[in-house]
Amino acid sequence: MKKFKKEKKGFVIGGEEASSLVRFETWKKAICAEFFSAPFFIVWAFFIGLLANSVESELLNSFFFNALAEGVAIKSLMLMLVLSTFNLGCVFIFNPKSEGRMMKVLCSPFSVGRAICVATGANILGILIAMFVSEGPSTITGQVAMMPISIVLIWAGFAAFEIFSVDCAAFRNEMRHWAIFSGHLLLAVFGISIHYTYRVILSGVFS
């Protein structure tokens, strides 16, 4: 009897260690696999920014402004983060297997969102460096400098969503009723965001 209790206790500790290992591996994959691509985008955007700055063609400058317009990019990423609550809500409610196909499908928007954050943030950072080199620090306002920080926060949101998803089983076992309630709440947030997006499209103003 005493031996059984000891084994049971060891099993619980092992489960906690396994859960912590899953969280660590998720962060490691997110940081190593995604941020290693940032230097390429930074260098690319830096040279493109210098080129656009030196050329007086309004069409070329207009192209880069529309392609890398920071307001649209950040708002789009924020919208993606809000819409991803649908996937997170489904994970909380249905609790699919961590290695199953359904879990991979539900978690795929999180990794894609993080990758877009890294690419967009690195491009903006490269443009800011080009502005600093060619025009001096006076051209970089506080609002512009906050853009990379905003993108990092959105990236952290996608990463947190994935960590909550992979650790959902342990969370549901500890707080089952709250987990089910929160899942429906997340789906409600998704529905509201869809309605808001539809109204924005009808108005023609993305604000």
Decide: 90 and 106 in contact? Cβ < 8 Å: yes
CA dist 175 and 182 (Å) reads 10
**What's this model's pTM, rounded to 2 decimal places?**
0.64
Per residue in 16-32, pLDDT (tens digit) is 555 566 666 666 666 66
CA dist 119 and 145 (Å) reads 17
- Across residues 102-128, what is the average pLDDT? 84
Long-range contacts of the stretch 91-100 (C-beta < 8 A, 24+): 91/164, 91/165, 91/168, 91/183, 92/168, 92/172, 92/179, 92/180, 92/182, 92/183, 92/186, 93/180, 93/183, 93/184, 93/187, 95/168, 95/169, 95/172, 98/22, 98/166, 98/169
As given in the structure block, the two tokens for residue 68 are 């890398």
Does 152 score more than 80 pLDDT?
Answer: yes
3-state secondary structure (DSSP) of residue 99? coil
3-state secondary structure (DSSP) of residue 168? helix
Closest of 134, 126, 141 to residue 53, by C-alpha: 134
Instruction: Please state which of the ranges 19-23, 39-43, 94-98, 190-194 shows the lowest mean pLDDT.
Output: 19-23
Higher pLDDT, 143 or 120: 120
